[in-house]
Amino acid sequence: MSASTSTAAPKRYVLITGCSPGGIGHALALEYHRQGLHVIATARRLEVIEDLRALGMTTLRLDVTDKEAIRSARDEIDELTGGRLDVLINNAGYGYTVAVTDMHLEDVRNLFETNVIAPVAMVQAFAPMLIASGDGRIVQLGSIAGFAPIPFGAAYNMSKAALMALSNTLRVEMAPFNVKVVHAIVGRVKTEIVKPRSIPVDSLFRPMEEVFQAKRIGVSQEGAMPADELARELVPETLRSHPKRWVWAGGQTWIPWFFYTFLGQPGFDWLMRKMFGFSEFSGVCIDGEPKLIPV
């Protein structure tokens, strides 16, 4: 692991995982830096965050699924900060867009390793430093997927639901040490997390291929908030003396908030079927005709 550090006197230290360009972590790094914190930005490949180092941030190569890499990062950060850390941002994660019946279980396990187990490992490694700061913060980058039944996203949905449960439990456990836990429920954001993928040819859902391709990117990016705007919205909340437990941030979060608050699960189910073309697909299944669904 290699690092580059700023010589400027730090005010407060924030560690952010998953800072590759085009994502939320990169935008958060820039905003915390703008707010005057000493940012420790990490990514699997150090060269992709060279722009952050050039701005005076500390940059570390870190694979959050590698316990030895986490241990090494902890030791280096401990030396840099004098044994304290003010804010830990668990942001690193990725999606897996496939129907439950088409999932490869090893892919699901790998996703959970990054999206759920890694945040636990990071908290375990850095809890003493957060406590030492006297007013530590743990910020978990969750998603509306944590409670919305988004089709073809069950693996990601499950991981974000688990992360929410982790945040809520951790908030209670860390309260005696004055470490506050903020769970960000992120809505639509313009990032590079949506990757090209087709429905397998032998899938039950192959007749939905056309609408799948149109909806999966269209729905996720319609009304999406730029990542830098999300960062400007989220960062100040995490630095408040008494931050909110849950922070709804990102584009069109009012929609899932409304359904979650007033209409419950039946409302969510109806909304997801409508948004992703499952109402039409039900007709195809009843007819028994393997035809493509019009967009």
Of 13, 32, 96, 160, the catalytic one is 160
Contact call for residues 248 and 185 (beta carbons, < 8 A): yes
C-alpha of 264 from chain center: 24
- Please give the sequence-ordered ranges of beta strands (E in DSSP) within 96-249, or none if there are none: 137-141, 180-186, 189-190, 225-226, 246-249
* Cα–Cα dist 66/164, whole Å: 22
* Cα–Cα dist 43/25, whole Å: 9
- φ/ψ region of 222 (left if φ > 0, alpha if ψ in -120 to 50, else beta) reads beta
C-alpha of 276 from chain center: 22
Report residue 61 as tokens: 């190569």
Active-site residue flag, 180:
no
* Cα–Cα dist 103/100, whole Å: 5
Active-site residue flag, 13:
no
Q: For the chain, what percentages of helix, strand and coil (3-state, to nearest 5) are there? A: 50, 15, 35
Neighbours of 48 (CB within 10 A): 16
* Cα–Cα dist 97/213, whole Å: 11
Of 13, 32, 96, 156, the catalytic one is 156
Of 179, 162, 191, the residue nearest 28 (C-alpha): 191
Catalytic residues: 156, 160
